[in-house]
């Protein structure tokens, strides 16, 4: 039976990743595999509900069985769904990540951390380190061939923290849905990067839902 990682273990891992990413801000790795490995490690930390959601639920009294369901990620409309992410080319997927986790989202997360002192404070450096590695990865991928202009990702709603009074029940539920959506978004991103590791071509779309290409179609000639 595999032991669950303790919060201290997660803290040490996240701190190490954030320091590693901060050191890499001035210089990007030229290795696709090295960057992909770092991104997979970072998503493994950021997708864990124990990072933000569970501390919030505990502090706000939402960790009771009849209230936990209110925080399910399917109620969140702040982040793109996995199916929409998989429909994008790899360059567009990376641009969508940067658009989703932009400075406005980081500012809103920072506001949340200030309102909830029990939430780990290494979360924001981890997200910034992740964004830096996404930018580095985008530099390694070939430019789109359609034109000289870089196509923009599909527009999406900007993640919003609730405008209701902090501490109210409405605020608690809206915030837990925001955080649940964030963790589920990072889980989806991690799955997609996992597919990249299995099909490490530097272009094209994600392969998990793609049908087999060998044998079946060639036989129909």
Read off the pLDDT of residues 101-149 as tens digits, 9 standing for 90 and up. Answer: 988 888 888 888 777 666 667 778 889 999 999 999 999 987 665 444 4
Q: In the chain, where are the structural domains located?
A: 11-144+153-201
Task: Give the Cα separation of 160 and 163 in Å (integer).
Answer: 8
Residue from 47, 181, 7 nearest 105 by CA: 181
**Residue keyed to tokens 């290795």:** 31
* pLDDT band at residue 210 using 50, 70 and 90 as cut-offs: very low
How deeply is 103 buried, as exposed, middle or buried, from its count of CB atoms within 10 A (0-12, 13-18, 19+)?
exposed
Read off the pLDDT of residues 155-199 as tens digits, 9 standing for 90 and up. Answer: 455 555 556 677 788 888 888 899 999 999 999 999 999 999 988
Task: Give the Cα separation of 124 and 120 in Å (integer).
Answer: 9
> What was the pLDDT predicted at 6?
54
Read off the pLDDT of residues 7-62 as tens digits, 9 standing for 90 and up. Answer: 555 445 544 544 444 444 547 888 999 999 999 999 999 999 988 888 888 888 89
* pLDDT band at residue 221 using 50, 70 and 90 as cut-offs: very low
HSE of 92 in the Cβ direction (CA atoms, 13 Å)? 19
Coil vs helix vs strand at 57: helix
> What was the pLDDT predicted at 175?
87
Task: Give the Cα separation of 164 and 25 in Å (integer).
Answer: 36
How deeply is 113 buried, as exposed, middle or buried, from its count of CB atoms within 10 A (0-12, 13-18, 19+)?
middle
> What was the pLDDT predicted at 150?
46
Contact assessment for residue 120 and residue 11, using Cβ atoms and an 8 Å cutoff:
yes
Read off the pLDDT of residues 64-101 as tens digits, 9 standing for 90 and up. Answer: 888 888 888 887 888 999 999 999 999 999 999 999 99
pTM: 0.75
How deeply is 21 buried, as exposed, middle or buried, from its count of CB atoms within 10 A (0-12, 13-18, 19+)?
buried
Please state which architecture CATH assigns to domain 11-144+153-201.
Up-down Bundle (1.20)
């Amino acid at each position: 039976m595999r032991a669950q990682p303790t919060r201290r273990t997660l803290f040490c891992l996240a701190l190490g990743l954030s320091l590693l990413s901060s050191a890499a801000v001035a210089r990007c790795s030229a290795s696709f595999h090295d960057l992909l490995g770092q991104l997979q490690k970072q998503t493994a930390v950021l997708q864990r509900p124990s990072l933000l959601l569970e501390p919030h639920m505990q502090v706000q009294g939402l960790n009771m069985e009849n209230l936990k369901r209110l925080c399910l990620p399917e109620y969140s409309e702040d982040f793109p769904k996995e199916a929409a992410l998989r429909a994008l080319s790899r360059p567009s997927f990376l641009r969508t990540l940067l658009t989703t986790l932009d400075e406005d989202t980081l500012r809103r997360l920072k506001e949340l951390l200030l309102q909830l002192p029990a939430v780990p404070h290494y979360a924001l450096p981890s997200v910034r380190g992740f964004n830096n590695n996404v930018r580095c990865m985008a530099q390694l991928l070939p430019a789109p061939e359609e034109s000289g202009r870089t196509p923009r990702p599909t527009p999406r709603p900007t993640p919003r923290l609730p405008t209701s009074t902090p501490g109210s029940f409405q605020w608690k539920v809206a915030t837990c849905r925001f955080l649940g959506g964030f963790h589920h978004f990072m889980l989806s991103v991690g799955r997609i990067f996992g597919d990249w590791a299995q099909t490490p071509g530097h272009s094209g779309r994600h392969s998990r839902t793609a049908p087999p290409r060998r044998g079946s179609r060639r036989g129909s000639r």
